[in-house]
């Protein structure tokens, strides 16, 4: 018996069109019958077209100040969760909010200097091999 065969693809030019930006509150997914209420997301995040901080799934967020009295419950929860560093992905998971909603909430907290963001190291910015070697040493200890 021989396995099915595939054809290798070539890298595309970098000029590939920008993928659509994730949008929330755009209606429930008919295929999945989700029960989420999209209106609620707009209320929660305040603005629809507001500027968003450039946050990655693995940007680490740390609280740096106490919440002022007017802080929303969601943001109070974020501040409490980030007493120790947590990734945006983990915040999204614990709060059960979509990633894009969490980034909007965090943008406001960053603007108010209530949290600090520790940027991820991404592939394009690899300075040298020391990072890869550090990861290898870390995995070796697992």
Partner 1 sequence: MDFKGSDTVPGPRTADHLPHTAQAAVKIVIVGGFGVGKTTMVGSVSEIRPLTTEETMTQAGVGVDDNYGSETKTATTVAMDFGRISITDQLVLYLFGTPGQERFWFLWNGLFEGALGAVVLIDTRRLEVSFDVMGRLEERGVPFVVAVNSFPDGPRYPLEELRAALDLAPNIPIVECDARRRASSRDVLMTLMHFLHSLHTTGALT
Q: Which positions from 9 through 68 interact with partner 1, judged by CB under 8 A? A: 9-12, 19-24, 26-32, 34, 36-37, 40-41, 44, 56-60, 62
> Token pair 């109070």 is at which residue?
76
Q: Which helix (H) or strand (E) holds 105?
A: helix 99-111
Instruction: Pick one of 15, 69, 84, 113: the residue that binds partner 1 (CB under 8 A).
Output: 84
Look up residue 124 and give its two tokens.
């394009």
CB 50, min distance to partner 1, A = 17
Using the minimum distance from each CB to partner 1, give the nearer residue, 31 or 70: 31
Site string for partner 1, 94-113 (x = CB under 8 A): xxxxxxx-------------
CB 120, min distance to partner 1, A = 5
Angle at which helices 88-95 and 73-81 cross, to 10° = 130
Query: How far are the Cα atoms of 72, 98, 107, 120, 132 from residue 116, in angstroms, in the given order?
Result: 18, 20, 10, 13, 25
Rounded Cα distance between 22 and 90, Å, is 18
Number of residues that bind partner 1 (CB under 8 A): 79
CB 8, min distance to partner 1, A = 4
């Amino acid at each position: 018996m021989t396995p099915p065969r595939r054809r290798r693809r070539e890298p595309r030019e970098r000029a590939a069109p920008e993928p659509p930006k994730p949008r929330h509150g755009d209606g429930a997914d008919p295929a999945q019958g989700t029960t989420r209420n999209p209106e609620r997301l707009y209320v929660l995040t305040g603005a629809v077209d507001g500027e968003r901080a450039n946050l990655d799934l693995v940007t680490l967020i740390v609280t740096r100040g106490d919440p002022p009295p007017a802080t929303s419950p969601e943001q109070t929860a974020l501040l409490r969760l980030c007493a120790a560093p947590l990734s945006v992905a983990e915040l999204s998971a614990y709060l059960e909010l979509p990633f894009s909603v969490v980034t909007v909430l965090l943008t406001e907290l960053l603007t108010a200097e209530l949290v600090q963001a520790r940027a991820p190291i991404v592939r394009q910015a690899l300075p040298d091999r020391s990072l890869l070697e550090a990861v290898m040493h870390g995995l070796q200890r697992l």
